A and B are shown apart, each in its own frame.
Chain A
Amino acid sequence: MKIGNKNQISILLRKRILDFAVKTEKAHVHIGSCLSAIDILIETLVFQMGSRDRFILSKGHASLALYVVFNYLKKISNKELASYFEEGTHFGIHTPGSMPDLIPLATGSLGHGLSFAAGVALGYKMQDQKTKRHVYVMISDGECNEGAVWEAAQFAVAIRIDNLTVIIDKNRVQALGRNKEVLGDGASVAKWRAFGFNVGTCNGHSFADLSAGFSALNKLKNNRPSVLICKTIRGRGIKSIENKVVSNYTAVTKEVYEEAILNLKS
């Protein structure tokens, strides 16, 4: 697909995220993370994954971005998605456990997704070497504060799984500060390379760059898991909160919504 068309999908799904966010007017939507992750999710789920591959959103607070991509893929219906944030919905703030074929792990507590993904990838590999079912997991750079991420990173390398791709949404901001000022940059190339991963980097808002990043990693055949470190901007598209700590807790009010829509149109 042409890059221009991918950009059209991005505009469409960014608008959907904003439409749901303004409906709730709740900060818990985690609009900042949804807008940093959405382009990576589109590239991964729509253009990279095979039908039997699995995707785990370890940074479960960006769930709305995942829901709208699944809706675009017709795996979540409009009616189902309309229940987002409503009483009795499947689609709350964090990814649910009620649809394991689509969402293999209910997340929300950070630091679980990579271990789970490594287990699934190993399980697929042990049961069938030929099918090459691939497992993708998205974590955030803030999530790299978690010790379990590094337990999992060591494990994934030790068990020599080449059917696992870690995708880091590197928006450089966490809940209460900038990553570098909290525990340092957990999404640095040096750290992941030191742990034994194949490492790629890209601009997480450029479809050309994302696609090239995946392609370069896919070419490597060395029994190592891969990580694609995607530089992103938290809250991208809402200039007043872009790249700011506040973007984690910004409720999309009508005013914020109008600012974002104007920006999308431009």
Chain B
Amino acid sequence: MRYIFAEQFQKIADSDKKTVFMTGDLGFNAFEPLIQSMGPRFINAGVAEHNMVTAAAGLAYSGLKPWIYSIAPFVSIKVLEELRNDVCLPNANVKIVALGGGFDYAIAGPTHHALEDVALMLTLPNMKIYVPSFPQDIAPIIKEMSEHQSPSYLRLTKAHTTNINIPAFKPMRQVIKGDKLTIVVLGSLAVEVIDAVSKFEYKIDLWAVSQLPLRIDDAFEESIKKTKSLIIIEEHVEHGGLGQYLSAYLMKRGRVSPNFIHLATKGYQSGLYGSRDFYLKENSLDKKSIARIVEKYLSRL
């Protein structure tokens, strides 16, 4: 989605001259037009992410609107203290664009994967997290980010498309209607899940989550009441992600307690490198594994 991001961000940068873009030495073959059009408002901050985050906080203090960009772990795990102290505690207007959520960086290996970022960002005060599910989410998300005067974190992944009609971006939206099993998926893994469940017509009530923290849709609670079954799927570690967020929410509300399965990443069991699909298979998060788990679950009902 980085090309779409670059294209859409260009519009923000053109219309708002206070917008500044800082990159941690990344964006080759994607940001050349931005470099041209933004001039001194495009800053290559070098391979120095600790400085980039805090300098962005300084730019925000001066009245500018900085966006910072790097590979996801380098603007989340690596710089957590800078994000907490200098961006989130003072509620600085800094936008973080994190490229490569989940296993997106594939054979680049675990150092380039981001499986813990949502959990970490959720612990920070004032931080909004955007996890686009589909390419068409990018435009409304970055518009919203630019209008909101607070920190936000955008978890970008490679563009995935799907053949089904997707409703417009909402933090939580129903993607497929069904009455036997409720499934919720975080971010762009939605595309794999749509493919995996398409054969179970009218049985799967599928919801996509693209923003956290989240105000839960009443219709979603109705869905769980009806199906009494919930599977949460995310390309993220079990702890601190969507699964724990939603299950804690439902427990606090005390209205529904569905049968619950959480499909999350389990780590690097083989220690081997491969494509995103290789890692998804190893973690039972690929299309076939998800379809198998759903089929097994439905057969027990």
Contact = CB atoms under 8 A, between A and B. Distances in A.
Interface of A: 97, 100, 104-106, 109, 111-112, 115-124, 126-127, 147-148, 151-152, 154-155, 158-159
A122 B64 CA distance: 10
The interface residues of chain B, by DSSP majority, are classed as helix
A116 B86 contact: yes
B244 interface: no
Contact of B61 (A109, A123, A158): A123
A97 B48 contact: no
A152 B52 CA distance: 8
B63 interface: yes
B275 interface: no
A104 B82 CA distance: 15
A151 B43 contact: no
Contacts of A151: 46, 48, 50-51
Contacts of A120: 58-59, 61-62
B51 A152 contact: yes
B61 A116 contact: yes
Nearest to A146: B50
27 contacts: A100-B90, A105-B58, A105-B86, A106-B90, A109-B85, A112-B82, A112-B85, A115-B50, A115-B51, A115-B53, A116-B54, A117-B58, A119-B60, A119-B66, A123-B60, A123-B62, A123-B63, A123-B64, A147-B50, A148-B54, A151-B48, A152-B55, A154-B46, A154-B48, A155-B45, A155-B46, A158-B46
A116 B62 CA distance: 10
Given A152-B55, A155-B45, A155-B55, A119 B90 contact: no
Interface in B264-294: none
A117 B56 CA distance: 10
A119 B59 contact: yes
Given A106-B90, A112-B86, A151-B51, A119 B46 contact: no
Contact of B55 (A97, A104, A115, A147): A115
A1 to B, nearest CB: 30
A-B residue pairs, 4 tightest by C-beta: A119-B58, A123-B62, A115-B54, A119-B55
Contacts of B231: none
B43 A100 contact: no
Contact of A124 (B40, B50, B62, B90): B62
Contacts of A126: 20, 40-41, 62, 64
A106 B46 contact: no
Contacts of B90: 97, 100, 105-106
A116 B56 CA distance: 7
B57 interface: yes
Given A104-B61, A116-B86, A122 B46 contact: no
Nearest to B43: A159
What range describes how many residues of B lie at the interface? 20 to 34
B89 interface: yes
Contacts of B137: none
B81 A116 contact: no
A116 B48 contact: no
A147 B78 CA distance: 13
A151 B52 CA distance: 9
B62 A119 contact: yes
Nearest to A54: B61
Contacts of B41: 126
B196 to A, nearest CB: 44
Contacts of B61: 100, 104-105, 116, 119-120, 123
Nearest to A152: B51
Contacts of B82: 112, 115, 148
B58 A118 contact: yes
B54 to A, nearest CB: 4
A85 B57 CA distance: 28
Contacts of B53: 115
A157 B66 CA distance: 20
A188 to B, nearest CB: 21
A124 B63 CA distance: 8
B50 A118 contact: no
A30 to B, nearest CB: 19
A154 B62 CA distance: 21
A33 to B, nearest CB: 20
A106 B58 CA distance: 12
Interface in B186-200: none
Contacts of B54: 112, 115-116, 119, 148, 152
Nearest to A147: B50
Interface in B57-116: 57-64, 66, 81-82, 85-86, 89-90
Nearest to B91: A97
Contacts of A104: 58, 61
Interface string B24-52: 00000000000000001101011010111
Nearest to B62: A123
A120 B89 CA distance: 17
Q: Most chain-A Cβ atoms within 10 A of its Cβ — which of B46, B50, B56, B89?
A: B50
B62 to A, nearest CB: 3
